[in-house]
Chain A
């Protein structure tokens, strides 16, 4: 079992470009009072980002065309959303999602 040097360098570089956007606001916005407009805007980021990440998982990018909808992911999302609404539990939601997807793949 070995670690290739070129991969170590690559992973370190990828780690660095990942680290910078993660830490920059923490280092710069320290003790700063932000304008109201910006804090309002930031308050919408969680909903919008989580929605976008979810929808991105349902869409399949196409070459120079609109994305297509993955019916497989859509189908597995339905029981997952229902369990999220009724159980209000993240763990149950994740388990339901994985089992639904496994079941759908088994059936088709």
Chain B
């Protein structure tokens, strides 16, 4: 069974680079905002969400009330509900502790890697733990490292590190397209729809809510189109 855990660790490795880049930047930004390396590590351990940690840091800098920070964090991270709903039925484990552990450490990246793998093989709890724990420790280590050496790199953006996340989404999106070749045309249509929906809704909603709205609406359109085509 150890091989399944190892397979999870191995599947995580390509995304580790992205975690390192973003985590390092998050550490630097946190340090610049007056958080100690310990506090930055604590934030990574307790919250473990890239985009949210950047937003929390910037809200702290603006002296936002804690209630507003907590509500914003909830909105930013509510997309995990969609991912968890999608992944949960595909994980073959009836153990409550396994399920808790898999859900608690779910990220955009580990979700994409797991979905990609689930199209080729069944994913068990050990695989997910290998994947999630590798990502979790990479994230904690890189944010603390960024906090510790941050004063020597005052501007992480100059080194393009902020783009690691976007680049990771490009790579993960491509891999998802690759693994769903049977409906590549439909997926391309949905990609365009997502852009249009996101563009329009970002006028009225926060970027995080717009992401949720565009995702859920486009997925519904995907269901309608695929049913209508198969009739």
Contact surface of A with B, Cβ cutoff 8 Å = 1-4, 6-15, 17-19, 21-27, 29-32, 34, 37, 39-59, 61-62, 64-67, 73, 76-77, 80-81, 84-85, 88-91, 93-106
B96 nearest CB across to chain A (Å): 7
Contact B176 A59 (CB under 8 A): no
24 cross-chain CB contacts under 8 A: A3-B38, A14-B56, A17-B73, A21-B74, A25-B87, A26-B91, A27-B99, A40-B226, A42-B219, A44-B190, A44-B219, A46-B115, A49-B79, A49-B83, A50-B112, A57-B166, A57-B169, A65-B203, A76-B163, A84-B174, A89-B14, A97-B163, A98-B160, A102-B160
- Partner of B99 from the list A26, A91, A101 (CB cut-off 8 Å) is A26
Asked whether, in the complex, the Cβ of B74 is within 8 Å of the Cβ of A18, the reply is yes
5 closest Cβ contacts across the A-B interface? Answer: A97-B167, A101-B160, A102-B160, A90-B14, A93-B171
Does more than half of chain B's interface fall in helix, strand or loop, or is it mixed? helix
CB within 8 Å for A57 and B165 given contacts A11-B42, A18-B73, A27-B100: yes
* Residue numbers in A under 8 Å from B176 (CB-CB): 46-47, 50
Q: CA–CA, A60 to B80, complex, Å? A: 23
| Contact of B49 with A101 in the complex, beta carbons under 8 Å | no
The answer to whether A14 and B104 touch (CB under 8 A), given A37-B223, A55-B194, is: no
Determine the chain A residues whose CB is within 8 A of the CB of B173 once the complex forms. Answer: 47, 50-51, 54
Are B160 and A99 in touch, CB under 8 angstroms? Answer: yes
- B196-217 residues with Cβ-Cβ distance < 8 A to A are 198-200, 202-203, 206-207, 210-211, 214-216
Whole-angstrom CA separation of A44 from B180 in the bound complex: 10
Distance between Cα atoms of A23 and B122 in the complex (Å): 20
Using a CB–CB distance below 8 Å, which chain B residues touch chain A?
A: 13-15, 17-18, 21, 35-39, 42-43, 46-49, 52, 56, 66, 69-70, 73-74, 77-89, 91, 94, 96, 99-100, 102-106, 108, 111-112, 115, 157-178, 180, 187, 190-191, 194-195, 198-200, 202-203, 206-207, 210-211, 214-216, 218-220, 222-223, 226-227
A24 to B171 Cα, complex, angstroms: 28
In angstroms, Cα B177 to Cα A57, docked, is 19
Chain A interface mostly helix, strand, loop or mixed? helix
CA distance A81 to B28 in the complex (A): 27
Question: Known contacts A50-B169, A52-B215; is A94 also within 8 Å of B164 by CB?
Answer: yes
A98 with B167, Cβ < 8 A, contacts A18-B48, A27-B96, A44-B218 known: yes
Contact indicator A76/B160 (Cβ below 8 Å): yes
In the complex, residue of chain B having the shortest beta-carbon distance to the beta carbon of A37: B223
Tell me, in angstroms, the Cα distance from A94 to B94 when the chains sit together: 35
Q: Check B80–A93 contact: CB distance below 8 A.
A: no
| Alpha-carbon separation in the docked complex, A71 to B11 (Å) | 32
Q: For the complex, what is the distance from the CA of A14 to the CA of B80, rounded to whole Å?
A: 14
Contact indicator B84/A26 (Cβ below 8 Å): yes
CB-based contact A98/B194 at 8 Å: no
Known contacts A18-B77, A102-B158; is-contact A48 B214 (Cβ 8 Å): yes
CA distance A24 to B104 in the complex (A): 9
Which of B56, B80, B102 has most A Cβ within 10 Å? B80
Contact B202 A24 (CB under 8 A): no
